[in-house]
Amino acid sequence: MADEPILVVDDNPQNLKLVRVLLSSEGYAVRTAADAEEALRLLEGYAPRLVLMDLQLPGMDGLELTRRLKADPRRRGMLVVALTAYAMKGDEEKARAAGCDGYVTKPIDTDGLPRLLARLLAAPPH
């Protein structure tokens, strides 16, 4: 999956840097956005296969952004993986109901995350 495009949306600069370095070292072409509005601007001219989405974003949260992406016929096939530090009972169900294809809790498992993303990206597009 070398050069597979991935967008990481997270308002925490340290998380953005960690994930960008981790996924870039795995050969992914990573772009980042600090909030939903920046992500939407980037997506106007960019079509990643996968979006790693923080759920707790300022302004529009990650669940609403996911719903918007999945409602857009041009973006419906993008894989969205929820990323959250505030994993409460029922949060994974909420993320899946919004359209997320995967769910990851912080702190990020630096071994497990690349394996999960590789598995999702290897599946045929839906």
Classify the C-alpha dihedral 86-42-110-125 as positive or negative: positive
Residue 123: pLDDT band (50, 70, 90) is confident
125 found inside a domain: no
pLDDT score for 3? 85
Does some domain include residue 108? yes
Residue 90: its pLDDT value, please? 81
Q: What is the pLDDT of residue 97?
A: 95
Q: Is residue 17 part of a domain?
A: yes
Report the pLDDT value the prediction gives residue 86, as an integer from 0 to 100. 72
With a cut of 70, say whether residue 2 has pLDDT above it. Answer: no
Angstrom distance (rounded) from CA 61 to CA 114? 24
How is residue 64 annotated by DSSP? Answer: H
78 phi, psi to nearest 5 deg = -65, 135
CATH of residue 64: 3.40.50.2300
> Is residue 48 in a domain?
yes
pLDDT value at position 126? 63
Residue 25, domain extent: 5-119
Beta-carbon contacts of residue 39 (< 8 Å; ≥ 6 apart)? 7, 9, 33, 51, 65
- In this predicted structure, what is the pLDDT of residue 1? 52
Residue 75 within any structural domain of the chain: yes
Looking at the domain assignment, is residue 126 inside a domain?
no
As a whole number, mean pLDDT of residues 26-55 equals 96
Task: Name the residue among 6, 18, 57, 66 with its Cα closest to residue 34.
Answer: 57
| Those residues with Cβ within 8 angstroms of residue 68's Cβ, 6 or more apart along the chain or in another chain | 40
* Predicted TM-score (pTM) of this structure: 0.93
Instruction: Please determine, for residue 50, whether its predicted confidence score (pLDDT) is greater than 60.
Output: yes
Residue 26: count of CB within 10 angstroms of its CB: 17
Asked if pLDDT for residue 77 goes beyond 70, the answer is yes
- Total structural domains within the chain: 1
Q: Per the omega criterion (within 30 degrees of 0), is the bond before 107 cis? A: yes
pLDDT, one tens digit per residue, over 14-30 is: 999 999 999 999 999 99
97-120 residue pLDDT tens: 999 999 998 888 999 999 999 999
